[in-house]
Amino acid sequence: MTVTGWFWVIICSLGAASSSFLLRRSIDNIGKFELELRSISGLATQPLLFIGIILYGLTGIIWLRVLATEQLNIAYPVLISLTFISVSIGSMVFFKEPMTAVKLAGLIIIVLGISLVTKG
């Protein structure tokens, strides 16, 4: 993968993770979410929801750039892996979710996997 490809994949990963954090915060702000009118209308009042959706859309547009210039069989695993790592770390920082030794070991294995995929 090219240096430019890496840059755009990292941007996509951070955009996807950040949009997930914004969407999660929107749900936390209304207390709970069920597939019912009350929850949906509650979410409709959350500015972070709309920011998260817009960010997710912009990330998708940037991803199109990656698809046009990089090998999909490398770029997609890297995107998913980096997003998984970003979400795991962000969840721990922003939502106080636990990071266990097993989860940490899994993240290390993912990093090793990324290095193997990009070298192959």
User: What would the pLDDT profile of 19-69 be if each residue is shown by its tens digit?
Assistant: 999 999 998 988 877 777 777 888 888 999 999 999 999 999 999 999 999
- The pLDDT value recorded for residue 76 is 92
Mean pLDDT along residues 68-83? 93
pTM for this prediction: 0.85
- The pLDDT value recorded for residue 120 is 66
Mean pLDDT along residues 1-18? 96
Mean pLDDT along residues 81-93? 93
- Parse the chain into domains and list their residue ranges: 3-119
Dump the DSSP string for the chain. Answer: --HHHHHHHHHHHHHHHHHHHHHHHHHHHHS---SSHHHHHHHTT-HHHHHHHHHHHHHHHHHHHHHHHS-HHHHHHHHHHHHHHHHHHHHHHHH-----HHHHHHHHHHHHHHHHHHH-
